[in-house]
A and B are shown apart, each in its own frame.
Chain A
């Protein structure tokens, strides 16, 4: 292992990691928003929109992110929709993540017993109040494990961004290998940087899960 090489190119990885985190965070934030909307549409069985959401979820979950990115980056400009590579990355991640988040939220909502909403209604609450004070808090906490798993999954998926020439971590590693043949060092740095990004997310996620379990669930 050539430590001088590693020290020399550390800054390159830092820049790339920031890009990965930036696109990852924006993409995940959008995924959460999309997922929330889709889950609401499914939960309330909104006509027409419901069918659209179902088609979206199936398309999104059953095609690889790489293909989705290619489509956005190479195919859409042909019909006049051109975007920067970064924007493509963000939209691609949101397109993929939205469906995973939707499924996580939907299963959380469906796992709350109907009697919970009924008790709230029979206490004189409006439907919106029952949802806000009784159903949602329980649904969210049930969704947390799937939610955390999705965030980690989506952050890892960012590694395919190099395919649309975004200078993320994977791109940097491939670039250095191509230029200097320092395969071991380049990949070592790659692994370390992904761990630096993902381990805190993972640890925080387990902590939140434990806290929510402690807060009185599983009656």
Chain B
């Protein structure tokens, strides 16, 4: 088995006294694809935000490659360079075109060579089918195209871990597919990813492991077949039933 890349231990997150994450512990090994599911408001997105310390935590720890990721710490920016994140809403920078969006962090943060990063960015844009949109501004792109650019932007920093926070939740159905295909492609390349999603079929297809979170706790941590066919907890059964429909006539 590959080595442990990310170690989340006893993570506690509170907002104004109410506990959103209540002692979350799990490891992610290099090359693993973890899908996090659960009902709205169960803390899935908060978990991702805590992993790259966008939120301060009230207890526990997050370690990436053996080094702690701590909100407000000096080397946080350095740690975050290794963690790529794609958000639900379109987080492209609206005042920059596609290629500048992608190049900004590699050039300003990593001080890499421009022509080299540019070549890499164009290669990745080609891979997601957007090589002809390099000069477009975000407002000229569809939702699905924006998300594909956001993924490329994250990849260009050479992260060792990718976080996807309901990246298709705001998209029209036809556009969901094009974004999910990109993610399936990344999984095929052996990238380490944590994905929060409501697309259950996709979750089953891409996951090595499924984490089911309820009330701020991990209720199930298992392989996708077991989770979708034989969930242990009642709460997971209830949750999965939401996606099943009986014929009405």
Partners in one complex: yes
- Chain A positions within 8 Å of B, measured between CB atoms, are 113, 115-116, 118-126, 129, 133-134, 137-138, 141, 215-219
Of all chain B residues, the one with the shortest Cβ separation from A134 is B93
Q: Of residues A118, A124, A218, which shows the largest number of chain B Cβ atoms within 10 Å of its Cβ?
A: A124
Measured CA separation A126–B109 after assembly (Å) = 8
- Provided the pairs A215-B95, A216-B139 are in contact, do residues A129 and B108 lie with their beta carbons within 8 angstroms? yes
Distance in Å: Cβ of B146 to nearest Cβ of chain A: 8
Inter-chain contacts of A120 with B (CB < 8 A): 93, 105
What are 15 A-B pairs with beta-carbon distances under 8 A?
A118-B54, A119-B150, A121-B77, A123-B104, A123-B157, A124-B110, A124-B157, A129-B109, A133-B108, A137-B95, A138-B94, A216-B139, A217-B139, A219-B92, A219-B138
Inter-chain contacts of B91 with A (CB < 8 A): 115-116, 118-119
Task: Evaluate contact between A115 and B89: CB separation under 8 angstroms.
Answer: yes
Distance in Å: Cβ of B82 to nearest Cβ of chain A: 8
Measured CA separation A133–B95 after assembly (Å) = 10
Task: Evaluate contact between B109 and A125: CB separation under 8 angstroms.
Answer: yes
Inter-chain contacts of B92 with A (CB < 8 A): 119, 219
Give which listed residue, A123, A125, A126, contacts B153 with CB less than 8 A: A123
Inter-chain contacts of B137 with A (CB < 8 A): 215-216, 219
A-contact bits for B118-136, CB 8 A (1 contact / 0 none): 0000000000000000000
Distance in Å: Cβ of B109 to nearest Cβ of chain A: 5
CB proximity to A under 8 Å, residues B74-89 = 77-78, 80-85, 87, 89
Measured CA separation A183–B150 after assembly (Å) = 65
Measured CA separation A194–B126 after assembly (Å) = 56
Distance in Å: Cβ of A204 to nearest Cβ of chain B: 21
Inter-chain contacts of A129 with B (CB < 8 A): 108-109
- Provided the pairs A141-B95, A216-B138 are in contact, do residues A124 and B109 lie with their beta carbons within 8 angstroms? yes
Task: Evaluate contact between B109 and A123: CB separation under 8 angstroms.
Answer: yes
Inter-chain contacts of B108 with A (CB < 8 A): 125, 129, 133
- Provided the pairs A124-B157, A218-B139 are in contact, do residues A116 and B77 lie with their beta carbons within 8 angstroms? no
